[in-house]
Chain A
Amino acid sequence: MTADAAVKLTGLTQPRKLESGSRRRFSPVALFEALATPHGVDRYLELVNPMLTVREMRAEVTDVRRSTADTVTLTMRPTRQWRGFRAGQFVQVSIDIDGVRRTRCYSPACSQHRRDGRIELTVKAHRGGLVSQYLNTHATPGLVVGLSQADGVFSLPDQRPDRVLLISGGSGITPVLSMLRTLCDEGYRGDVAFLHYADTEADVCYRDDLQKIGEQHPNVNVVVAYTTQTSGGDLHGYFRHEHLDAVAPWYSDAEAFLCGPPALMASVREVFDTRGAGQSLHTEEFTPPPIAADDGAVTGTLTFGRSDVAVANAGTTLLEQAEQAGLRPEHGCRMGICFSCTQVKTSGCTRNIRTGETNSDPDTEVQLCISVPVGDVALDI
């Protein structure tokens, strides 16, 4: 997801410029905005009902289902701004935990042709994961979360391929399941192979749904592989050449869509590349950014995205390094109290020199004057 997409979605660094009102004066919405200036209509509507919004998009959880020990499936109803999605795309969900808004990406698992306007997300509780654990424990019907429009290039092409191979592992099942359900809704006649990897039978969250799809659609071959469990299932162990031959011997005529943990992604990529079929493999990454080890060593590259400048990390503050590189970012007190120098860190880990705290979240605001890079960092300046 690009920095621009992040800015658009979160609206963080775009000051809401007050445009000239005379052109729009005579529309009812413009009138309400003029009456509600400077806060905007949504700020008043949300006092009545958080799902009542003009500009902002939210979603209300309407159903919570737990089909495995560490996953929760949420059905949500978005507000009226929702424009739908293409199977395979993701949305950003925001939720306030301990006062802080956390945003995470999830792919709807439902068909893009779903009629009731709702979307279905499945969240796996990662060990040490803040939002995933919170949703698994606390999600109940009525919970209102922030939602973004769907985004991402990982999706079924408009011209459906003749044959489709869908490979997933763990929580990566959601985007490819969406693709599968979408194809079924469209009455797709081509060969579909759905290959899913899980540790054990109990870890396959859509077990029953997948079985039903396999039964109802003769062109769909659902193959479940267990990496730990040795009994049951269709295949065992981790992905390798034999699995591909067993599941989709016609892979060279198909488009393949892959989403899962890094090890699975690497194996599949390697097999496809070896067989010269790398072009037909489309992937989506679902891993959290690696936490850089903060051992005091000065390493990495500091990239200034909008200026197309990259420098080797010198260990000094982001503000100093930007200025050394010839940039002129806005600054103020240079001591961390005035927030004039706040900018968006697109990716990487930074350390706050006032508190010693590190932050690895992507697309987050940081104060340039009191943050130093820990490893590679990209800034949206």
Chain B
Amino acid sequence: MTRTKRVALTDAQIDELGRELDAIRQRVVDDLGAEDRDYIYKIIKWQRGLEVAGRGSLYLGFLPPFWLAGMTALSLSKILDNMEIGHNVMHGQYDWMRDPALNSKVFEWDTACPGDQWRHSHNYLHHTYTNILDKDRDVGYGILRMDESQKWNPYYLGNPVWAFLLMTFFQYGVALHDLETEHVITGKRKLSENKELWQGIWRKTGRQTLKDYVLFPALTGPLFLSTLTANATANLVRNVWAYSIIFCGHFPSGVATFTQEETQNETRGQWYVRQMMGSANISGGKLFHILSGNLSYQIEHHLFPDLPARRYPQIAGEVRALCEKYGLPYNSGRLSRQLGSTWAKIFRLAVPFGLVGVKGTPPAVTVVPDNVSVAA
């Protein structure tokens, strides 16, 4: 297990780093144009095409190759819709195009979670307070123990079980995320605050369920069960894939978490540093990156959540170089390594024998006075 690297930088260095990152962002923003539009529409064409082909194949679902092909095409369609299209469009990455079909405020994705609730919990809460304990609810999603500082209690003995269930039913876990159920249980949040959210969840999940588990199976007549299982399997495949990629974003060992005290009155530069130290990348080929919605470039995504994700591979080299220049870690590894270390953490934190207690954890980033020389 890799310990989180401790980093010491001066205010001036952090400011300079912030300026260099701002410059990268501005350069990309100035370059946005027809290529980006053509790219996302190409991905969308693939997604819609795979969806239609998948659903069509299932009309011959009594033949195993067609069932398999249909289920696979539908899985890929749902993965593309969830990751490269949905997540990125709803981040506002394509709002600059002023295309109402790809406007972050109105876009809906092919999964149980209502877009507006996801935008609130993800775009705003997760991205602003990334990895700040007790502020970023993605640290554990309210049901898992993913950091040593989370106080252990016997419930967490089931950590691997809850994680497995979350993975299997991930789309529903995400759909229920904005309800802040763990806060309702502890009394921090009133049940009545969730009334409208429940209505939204009910509507969206209802329509998704009707589509995948009633209408499309019914249209295939006697193949109802065959189509239903194919659709359920496709949803499962997407759930497992999305869960895995997303969990690799912030949980592999070596990724830092932060306390609220450390991050008070953060400057822009400090915000950037927290995003870099709180995220991890996954290495892979071009197709892997597309299927992961370029969340395999989690560091770049957290630095620039509003830049079209296809730009992350283009700037990754520069970002990595900046990390080296300032002595910051650049956490990147193969999927097997990142995923393995994440699951290892899930198992390890199920038991109360933490390797480092809360009191003994020094902050990941220390800001030293300007007159102290620091090895860069």
**Footprint of B on A, CB under 8 Å?**
10-16, 18, 20-21, 31, 34-35, 37-39, 43-44, 47, 96, 98-103, 332-333, 335-340, 342, 355, 364-365
A47 & B49 in contact (Cβ 8 Å cutoff):
yes
A47 & B211 in contact (Cβ 8 Å cutoff):
no
B207 & A38 in contact (Cβ 8 Å cutoff):
yes
CB distance from A20 to the nearest CB of B (A): 7
A365 & B98 in contact (Cβ 8 Å cutoff):
yes
Per the bound structure, the CA–CA distance linking A297 and B104 in Å amounts to 33
Which B residue sits closest to A333, measured CB to CB?
A: B128
B204 & A18 in contact (Cβ 8 Å cutoff):
yes
A-B contacts, 28 of them at CB < 8 A, read: A11-B100, A12-B105, A13-B105, A16-B106, A18-B204, A20-B203, A31-B215, A35-B211, A35-B216, A37-B207, A37-B210, A37-B211, A38-B110, A39-B48, A39-B110, A96-B34, A96-B99, A98-B33, A99-B33, A99-B37, A100-B97, A101-B97, A103-B98, A338-B124, A339-B95, A340-B120, A340-B124, A365-B98
Per the bound structure, the CA–CA distance linking A16 and B96 in Å amounts to 20
B124 & A16 in contact (Cβ 8 Å cutoff):
no
Q: Which residues on the B side are within 8 Å of A96 (C-beta)? A: 34, 37, 97, 99
B123 & A340 in contact (Cβ 8 Å cutoff):
yes
B232 contacts chain A at the CB level, 8 A cutoff: no
| B124 touches which of A31, A39, A333 (Cβ 8 Å) | A333
B207 & A339 in contact (Cβ 8 Å cutoff):
no
Per the bound structure, the CA–CA distance linking A355 and B34 in Å amounts to 21
| B215 touches which of A12, A15, A34, A337 (Cβ 8 Å) | A34
B120 & A18 in contact (Cβ 8 Å cutoff):
no
Given A34-B207, A339-B105, also A15-B95 (CB < 8 A): no
Q: Which residues on the A side are within 8 Å of B108 (C-beta)? A: 16, 18, 38-39
Given A18-B207, A337-B305, A339-B306, also A43-B124 (CB < 8 A): no
CB distance from B196 to the nearest CB of A (A): 12
CB distance from B241 to the nearest CB of A (A): 20
Known A18-B204, A38-B207, A44-B52; further 15 A-B contacts with Cβ < 8 A: A12-B100, A12-B106, A13-B105, A14-B106, A18-B108, A47-B49, A96-B34, A100-B98, A101-B97, A101-B98, A332-B128, A336-B306, A340-B120, A342-B104, A355-B29
CB distance from A282 to the nearest CB of B (A): 32
Q: Which residues on the A side are within 8 Å of B19 (C-beta)? A: none
Q: Which residues on the B side are within 8 Å of A98 (C-beta)? A: 33-34
A43 & B123 in contact (Cβ 8 Å cutoff):
no
A47 & B109 in contact (Cβ 8 Å cutoff):
no
B103 & A12 in contact (Cβ 8 Å cutoff):
yes
B123 & A339 in contact (Cβ 8 Å cutoff):
yes
Q: Which residues on the B side are within 8 Å of A20 (C-beta)? A: 203
Query: How would you classify the secondary structure of chain B's contact residues: helix, strand, loop or mixed?
Result: helix
Per the bound structure, the CA–CA distance linking A17 and B44 in Å amounts to 22
Q: Which residues on the A side are within 8 Å of B271 (C-beta)? A: 335
Which A residue sits closest to B37, measured CB to CB?
A: A99
CB distance from A108 to the nearest CB of B (A): 23
B208 & A37 in contact (Cβ 8 Å cutoff):
yes
A34 & B211 in contact (Cβ 8 Å cutoff):
yes
Per the bound structure, the CA–CA distance linking A336 and B101 in Å amounts to 22
B119 contacts chain A at the CB level, 8 A cutoff: yes
Q: Which residues on the B side are within 8 Å of A332 (C-beta)? A: 120, 123-125, 128
Which A residue sits closest to B110, measured CB to CB?
A: A38
Per the bound structure, the CA–CA distance linking A12 and B98 in Å amounts to 8
Which bucket holds chain B's interface residue count? 35 or more
B11 contacts chain A at the CB level, 8 A cutoff: no
B32 contacts chain A at the CB level, 8 A cutoff: yes
| A340 touches which of B35, B115, B119, B206 (Cβ 8 Å) | B119
Per the bound structure, the CA–CA distance linking A11 and B99 in Å amounts to 10
Interface flags, B59-81, vs A, CB<8A=1, else 0: 00000000000000000000000
Most buried by A among B32, B35, B101, B120: B101
CB distance from B86 to the nearest CB of A (A): 10
Q: Which residues on the A side are within 8 Å of B106 (C-beta)? A: 11-12, 14-16
CB distance from B300 to the nearest CB of A (A): 13
Q: Which residues on the B side are within 8 Å of A101 (C-beta)? A: 97-99
Per the bound structure, the CA–CA distance linking A337 and B91 in Å amounts to 8
Q: Which residues on the B side are within 8 Å of A38 (C-beta)? A: 108-110, 204, 207-208
Which B residue sits closest to A340, measured CB to CB?
A: B124
Most buried by B among A12, A31, A100: A100
Per the bound structure, the CA–CA distance linking A339 and B307 in Å amounts to 12
B208 & A338 in contact (Cβ 8 Å cutoff):
no
CB distance from A368 to the nearest CB of B (A): 13
Which A residue sits closest to B55, measured CB to CB?
A: A35
| B123 touches which of A21, A35, A338 (Cβ 8 Å) | A338
For window 255-271 of chain B, which residues contact chain A by CB distance below 8 Å? 268, 271
Q: Which residues on the B side are within 8 Å of A333 (C-beta)? A: 123-124, 127-128
Given A18-B203, A337-B305, A339-B105, also A100-B96 (CB < 8 A): yes
Most buried by B among A43, A102, A365: A365
For window 181-209 of chain B, which residues contact chain A by CB distance below 8 Å? 203-204, 206-208
Q: Which residues on the A side are within 8 Å of B92 (C-beta)? A: 338-339, 342
Which B residue sits closest to A14, measured CB to CB?
A: B106
B20 contacts chain A at the CB level, 8 A cutoff: no
Per the bound structure, the CA–CA distance linking A12 and B37 in Å amounts to 18
B180 contacts chain A at the CB level, 8 A cutoff: no
A21 & B210 in contact (Cβ 8 Å cutoff):
yes
For window 113-167 of chain B, which residues contact chain A by CB distance below 8 Å? 115-116, 119-120, 123-125, 127-128
B26 contacts chain A at the CB level, 8 A cutoff: yes
CB distance from A130 to the nearest CB of B (A): 13
| A342 touches which of B95, B211, B216 (Cβ 8 Å) | B95
Given A96-B37, A332-B124, A340-B120, also A10-B52 (CB < 8 A): no
A339 & B45 in contact (Cβ 8 Å cutoff):
no
A355 & B306 in contact (Cβ 8 Å cutoff):
no
Q: Which residues on the B side are within 8 Å of A44 (C-beta)? A: 48, 52
Q: Which residues on the A side are within 8 Å of B45 (C-beta)? A: 47
Per the bound structure, the CA–CA distance linking A106 and B203 in Å amounts to 40
Interface flags, B219-246, vs A, CB<8A=1, else 0: 1000000000000000000000000000
Q: Which residues on the B side are within 8 Å of A12 (C-beta)? A: 98, 100, 103, 105-106
Q: Which residues on the A side are within 8 Å of B37 (C-beta)? A: 96, 99
